[in-house]
A and B are shown apart, each in its own frame.
Chain A
Amino acid sequence: MIGPELIAFVAALGAGAFGALVGVGGGLITVPLLVALGVEVHTAIGVSLLGVISISTAGSASYLMAGFANRRIGLTLLVATAAGGIVGGYVAGLLDGRVLSGLFGVVLVFVAAQMLRARSRPPAEVVGEPAAFDIDASYLEPTTGETIEYRARNVGAASLVSIGAGVISGLLGVGGGIINVPTMNVLMHVPIRVATATSTYMLGATAAASAVLYLSRGQIDMMLAAAVVAGMFLGAAVGARYSRRVPRQILSMLFVIIASVFAVQMLLRYLAS
């Protein structure tokens, strides 16, 4: 493994660790990193989707066991998100690499801006009978030992928004959490811890829906995939271990700086050609 695969492995290790520390999917970092290493944009996206599946698979197992991921909310939104993933994966095959680079740059700017003004909404009180599609649930908050009850509302509207999350995931090889988490937290009134865990649970199937399309178009380099997935998987495990020890604010600022650099790189790639 001399050359691009080794560099990709080390880069994915860092991307996976940093992604887990900051709380974003590795795809936001992996795709521009691979592109910077000279990998074709479609291939970078296809390989990144596999990394997203691996992080989701590993993360959602522990989130399900801890009771943070709400399977019913996740599956409800997943029907829409996975359908969006097919659309995104299909459309990506029709678009030129430089257009995808430009779109990626725009999404990175959006995520960096969102990170700067990140505020989480507290869960709404559970009062009265739930409406037809509302979902009542609870989880044990580990920091206080308190059982938090919540009611997920606006399921129909959130499903519509989730289609967009799937399209972006399939189109750009990112997790879709950048849309799913605020949708669940702000629109559905789901606590931020549950929203993040449920989003992680959803990412795997969403990415799988589009990854098969990249695979069928021959846009997945097998050895690169092996290096990147192994790197992201191991990196995310290390990052998750230390995520509570590193100051969140410093990491967020660091992410904003890195995302801005990558955004400029991707937008320049679009403008240059």
Chain B
Amino acid sequence: MSERPHIAWSVRALKSGAAFALGLFLSAIALHLVGHPAAEKAALLGVLALIATPAISLAATALEAWARERQTAVLALAVLAVLSVATALALFMSR
């Protein structure tokens, strides 16, 4: 009925993002256990990596779907635009 969509980049982005964030969180826990002051920074990086992962995956979706699934690519860009609004609002609120 429908051609199998191109998902390789999107999946890779999701897997890498999750693994990277989990690695940072586990490092933060280990550093916290030994009382190292960098623990909090590692955890913050983990939080940022985790929050960025869906956006990176959406960007990957837009890129890999652009040629054959234009509608999917445009939808991914639309969601990215909504996430940009959230980030802009967050930056405005933190000032």
Contact = CB atoms under 8 A, between A and B. Distances in A.
Interface string A136-155: 11100000000001000000
B32 to A, nearest CB: 5
Contacts of A83: 82, 85
A252 interface: no
Contacts of B24: 226
A225 B43 contact: yes
Nearest to B95: A216
Mostly helix, strand, loop or mixed at chain B's interface? Answer: helix
B11 A212 contact: no
Interface stretch (A13-21, A74-82, A110-118, A243-251): A74-82
Contacts of A54: 18, 21-22, 50
Interface stretch (A191-199, A202-210, A254-262, A263-271): A202-210
Nearest to B72: A72
B54 A208 contact: yes
A71 B60 CA distance: 13
Report the interface size class on chain A.
Answer: 35 or more
A230 B50 CA distance: 11
B29 A64 contact: no
Contacts of B85: 83, 86
Contact of A230 (B4, B15, B26, B71): B26
Given A222-B43, A230-B22, A71 B72 contact: yes
For B29, B42, B85, B91, which residue has the most chain A Cβ atoms within 10 angstroms? B29
A82 B79 CA distance: 7
Given A53-B51, A64-B7, A204-B53, A226 B86 contact: no
Contacts of B44: 222
A61 interface: yes
A211 interface: yes
Interface in A201-242: 204-205, 208-213, 215-217, 220, 222-223, 225-227, 229-230, 233
A58 B76 CA distance: 19
Nearest to A47: B47
A76 B61 CA distance: 13
Contact of A79 (B21, B43, B57, B78): B78
Interface in A47-69: 50, 53-54, 56-58, 60-61, 64-65, 67
Interface of A: 1, 5, 9, 50, 53-54, 56-58, 60-61, 64-65, 67, 71-72, 75-76, 78-79, 82-83, 85-86, 89-90, 93, 126, 136-138, 149, 204-205, 208-213, 215-217, 220, 222-223, 225-227, 229-230, 233
Given A53-B53, A58-B18, A86-B89, 5 more contacts: A71-B72, A86-B86, A204-B14, A205-B79, A211-B51
